[in-house]
Structure 1
Amino acid sequence: MTMGELTRVKVDFATSHLIFPILIGGILLMLGLAILVTQRRDILSSGAMWRQTFAEMDKLRFFGTLALTVAYFSLMVPIGDFWPNTGIGFLLCSIPFVALTGVLFMHDRSPGKLVPVFIVAVVGPVLIWWLFTEIFYLTLP
């Protein structure tokens, strides 16, 4: 390998969108293992802790978040396939995902409180999409 080859970047557009999910998945796996190692006694000790945890948990928000996340990742690629290598799938899925997740976790859903959530739901994904597309030249699904 010559020094000139170190400054060349080849992007495989078929797999470039997998960089961040793999990176984030690896980080989450390491954090999960760290929790498992440090809290193993509490996790494995008794069913009472788990019964209490499940009895006191906010089931609507927990299962709602799971459903929204599965829908988000399941729809991103099929929607993005209509406009390949543009990141439109990310953009069109992220806006409702951020909006619905924000609304799901709100306690007071008055119109005045919803406006900032919807502004963030539009501005955040558009800014990320622009940053990755125009500045980093990375494709999103």
Structure 2
Amino acid sequence: MTQPIDVFTIGFTQKKAQQFFELLLKSGVRRVIDTRLNNASQLAGFSKRDDLAYFLKTIGDIEYIHMPELAPTKDILDAYKKQKGDWQTYETKFIDLINKRQIEKVLSPELVNGGCLLCSEAKPHHCHRRLVAEYLNKKWGNVDIHHL
């Protein structure tokens, strides 16, 4: 039996910086894989791309990688967020997208193991980071998912 791949997920909204970084440190995360389409928005606060990379490295020697291929397209995101679409439609479209992108070939188990998928949603229930983790588990079969 192959070793399980530990993948973590976290959202930054509704978290103060202290809570966010302590969750990452306590879990032993080695790298944050940013799955956001737009990671440089002023609204992102401490999780703005360049600031986040600096804080992660300085606070916990945690690597930062932005992987927009793990993000929904603007069209899929807008249909759900701005036009108040339903979650089931969003989920179906997003899974189709990552299937077409073959993210299981873009990512390697070595990159994902000990990594933490980041997006903005506070909880994983209606979030694409959970869908990415679950998709990888279906493709690779040995992914242990830990939502922080």
Fold shared, TM-score > 0.5 on shorter chain: no
With the length of structure 2 as denominator, give the TM-score of the two structures.
0.23
Structure with greater proportional strand content: 2
What TM-score does the superposition give when structure 1 sets the normalisation length? 0.24
Task: Compare the two structures and name the one with the higher helix fraction.
Answer: 1
Looking at CA atoms only, which structure, 1 or 2, has the larger radius of gyration?
Answer: 1
